[in-house]
Amino acid sequence: YAIPDIETLNLLAEACGEVHQSYSDHVMFCAMLSARGSEVAGLEVGDIDWVNRIVRIERQVYPGKGGLVTKQTKGRKERYVPILDPLEPILVRLSAGKKRGDPLLRGPRGGVLTTATIRDATKWDELVKGLGMDSLTRHGLRHTGATWLADAGVPLHVLQRILGHASIETTKGYLHPDHRHLNEAAKLANQFLARPPQRKEDIRRTRPQL
């Protein structure tokens, strides 16, 4: 399941933000960076490259038995994601006054945000159901970002690098058909078919005179 548009994503982020701003920021990061929750938790201020307008994703952070675990991303390779306009003001706000090695996003008490934390704190299942998105999981935010990039025309091999997949077949599995494009095509076709037929004399008059 992917969120259909940025307006709906903003509604979800605002609803999470009513609990705490960090939950709203987490939602926007996962969608706008097509990232896993653990990768968002691993972001540092120095991962933002304002010159090239990209964010480097090279680590994930999550709670383990002995405390926090920091390791490479699932694909074990750093990857680079373009900074989309809706994410820029959030990056500016969260990085202001911090050092390069500081965590970019932390929870209400300064701890690492996990998908379980987001689920429990926001009452996620009830929240998304109330917004008409019953099937949306936290990982669905990553699907959302990938789908939007694909619908925008980003080539599949570029999308593969953004998502960090070893196989392009895996990338294809993250994509969802956008039926809105089909609906728009049907609308245009129906408008064409609904035109009144031209009479023969009208057609003759509109022919170029040689």
What number of residues does the chain have? 210
Q: Count H helices and E strands in the chain, helices first.
A: 11, 5
Give the active site residue among 93, 129, 139, 179.
139
- Look up 142 and say whether it is catalytic: yes
Give the active site residue among 26, 79, 143, 165.
165
Q: Is 153 left (phi over 0), alpha (psi -120 to 50) or beta?
A: left
Place of tokens 């939007």: 148
- Look up 65 and say whether it is catalytic: no
Give the active site residue among 23, 26, 36, 138.
36
Give the active site residue among 26, 79, 138, 142.
142
Torsion of CA 11, 17, 22, 24, to 10 degrees: 0
DSSP letter, residue 45? G
- Look up 80 and say whether it is catalytic: no
- Look up 99 and say whether it is catalytic: no
Give the active site residue among 53, 71, 74, 98.
74
Backbone phi, then psi, for 71, in 5-degree steps? -150, 180
What's the CA angle centered on 139, arms 58 and 75, to 5 degrees? 30
The tokens of 100 are what? 């390069």
- Look up 165 and say whether it is catalytic: yes
Give the active site residue among 23, 138, 143, 174.
174
| 92 CB-side CA count, 13 A | 7
Catalytic residues: 36, 74, 139, 142, 165, 174
